[in-house]
Amino acid sequence: MPEPAAFPFPSDHPLAPAPALAEARKGGAPMRIRLPFGDPAWLVTRYEDARHVLSSTDFGRDALRAGIPPERTARIGPIDVSESTIMTMDPPRHTRVRGLVGKVFTPRRVDRLRPWTLEVARGLVADMRRQGPPADLVRDFALPLPIEVICELLGVPSADRDSFHAWSDAFLSTADPDAGKVRENQARIDGYLGGMAARRKGESGGGLVGALAREHESGGEGGLTEEELLGLLRALLIAGHETTASLIPGFVHLLLGGDGFSRLAADPGLIPGAVEELLRSVPLIRPGSFTRYVLRDTELGGVRIAAGEQVVVELSAANRDPEAFPDPDELDLARTPNPHIAFGHGIHHCVGASLARMELQVALEALTSDLPGLRPAVPLDRIRWNEERFVRAAEAFPVEW
């Protein structure tokens, strides 16, 4: 067997999948890779293979169930930041916990937030206009919008929101190889969330946190354990805050690189479909972030893979597969159908997908309607991106209008 290739592969630009991913996809079969931590793994890049791995019961997210101890899991950081969350559960535990989340984190709850979210977004744009150009799209819009939304959803007081963001930012960094420091930041987040849940469970209503805390209090086989409660709240933090804050600059970058932004300003009806195409096109999660563990001997892309081995599905490569998406490197804002898997597929499809979609649609609506002349204040190739985070993000994005 050939020596595993070092992964992630180098990329020409943070918003473009590494060229080596396309070469791997052309090869058809999964290839052997080695991430910075853990054992070697198989890399999956084809769309159909990706969907199969994400939905098949031959693969799981619980490493111990596959007989793989934590120190051997293939990962990009010193720990898997999704561990002890719904993202690393397998059925039947996953089925039970996901069902409880579905009872309280509903599309209706998200839809009720849409008018308020648009008001917040337009308020941030108004602040940018009052201050005058140049503005920093990251600092002045992309970060505060999802922070306000997820804190409103979770019930975090305004005075605590800066600390909340700082802890989250430190926890999701993959640059520090010291697992102890990562655990310290996780403990800060869990301590805060646990204290908030304890307070909210007895309140009338209590919002999303109160509802989940009461599921914890119900106990028994159908309730949430304390670990599950904190893991759910942490997963919602990642899904509802970090992803959106990172995607907004990526979306605007691609739109301003062509005529996309002006097209949306002229025709707001394109925004929902444009969000789907941008989700397909903009790599979000750092490659190698979600490993699957092989539960029984199986075959994938003509390769026999044994139980106890590990598989990395690279979503950005699967979403550029020409077998699934004609002209995959073209940004087609009216692409239909668009069966991308940016939010995953199968039972682990992102629990916060409806919230992220709503925020992204609202963000583009506010920016294109209130700042139709938005343009970069520096050449786009000078925008710096932090690629040492679980979720890749622009460090700053100067804009003017």
Strand (E) positions, 15-115? 31-34, 41-44, 59-60
What pairing do the DSSP bridges indicate for beta strands 310-313 and 41-44? parallel
How high is the pLDDT of residue 175?
47
Which 8-state DSSP code applies to residue 302? T
Q: What is the chain's alpha carbon radius of gyration, rounded to the nearest angstrom?
A: 21
Distances (CA, A) of 235 to 94, 228, 229, 343, 345: 13, 10, 10, 13, 17
Distances (CA, A) of 321 to 47, 49, 279, 303, 345: 6, 11, 14, 19, 16
Alpha carbon distance 7, 5 (integer Å): 6
How high is the pLDDT of residue 174?
46
How high is the pLDDT of residue 187?
79
Closest to 52 in 3D by CA, of 351, 350, 341: 341
Closest to 151 in 3D by CA, of 105, 203, 223, 209: 209
How high is the pLDDT of residue 7?
96
* 354 contacts 102 by C-beta, under 8 angstroms: no
Alpha carbon distance 215, 197 (integer Å): 11
Copy the structure tokens of residue 176.
Answer: 């520090």
Alpha carbon distance 232, 85 (integer Å): 6
Closest to 133 in 3D by CA, of 395, 385, 374: 374
Closest to 75 in 3D by CA, of 248, 284, 290: 290
How high is the pLDDT of residue 219?
57
Contacts for 214 with CB less than 8 Å, ≥ 6 apart: 201, 206
Superfamily of 5-400 according to CATH: Cytochrome P450 (1.10.630.10)
Q: What is the distance of C-alpha 358 from the center of its chain?
A: 14
Alpha carbon distance 301, 29 (integer Å): 5
Q: How would you write the pLDDT of the chain (401 residues) with one tens digit per residue?
A: 679 999 999 988 888 889 999 999 999 999 999 999 999 999 999 999 999 999 999 999 999 999 999 899 999 888 776 666 788 899 998 998 888 777 767 788 888 999 999 999 999 999 999 999 999 999 999 988 988 888 888 777 777 877 777 766 666 554 455 567 667 777 777 888 888 888 877 676 556 787 778 777 665 556 788 888 887 887 777 666 778 989 999 999 999 999 999 999 999 999 999 999 999 999 888 888 889 999 999 999 999 999 999 999 999 999 999 999 999 999 999 999 999 999 999 999 988 888 899 999 999 999 999 999 999 999 999 999 987 766 778 999 999 99
How high is the pLDDT of residue 172?
58
Instruction: Report the predicted TM-score, pTM, of the whole model to 2 decimal places.
Output: 0.90
* 361 contacts 375 by C-beta, under 8 angstroms: no
Token pair 């700082």: residue:
166
Strand (E) positions, 67-211? 135-136
How high is the pLDDT of residue 215?
75
Distances (CA, A) of 54 to 77, 98, 311, 346: 22, 16, 10, 6
Task: State the greatest distance between any 2 C-alpha atoms of the chain, in Å, as a whole number.
Answer: 62
Q: What are the boundaries of each domain within the chain?
A: 5-400
Q: Treating both helix axes as pointing N-terminal to C-terminal, what angle do 226-237 and 144-154 enclose, rounded to 10 degrees?
A: 150
How high is the pLDDT of residue 278?
98
Closest to 366 in 3D by CA, of 160, 142, 182, 161: 142
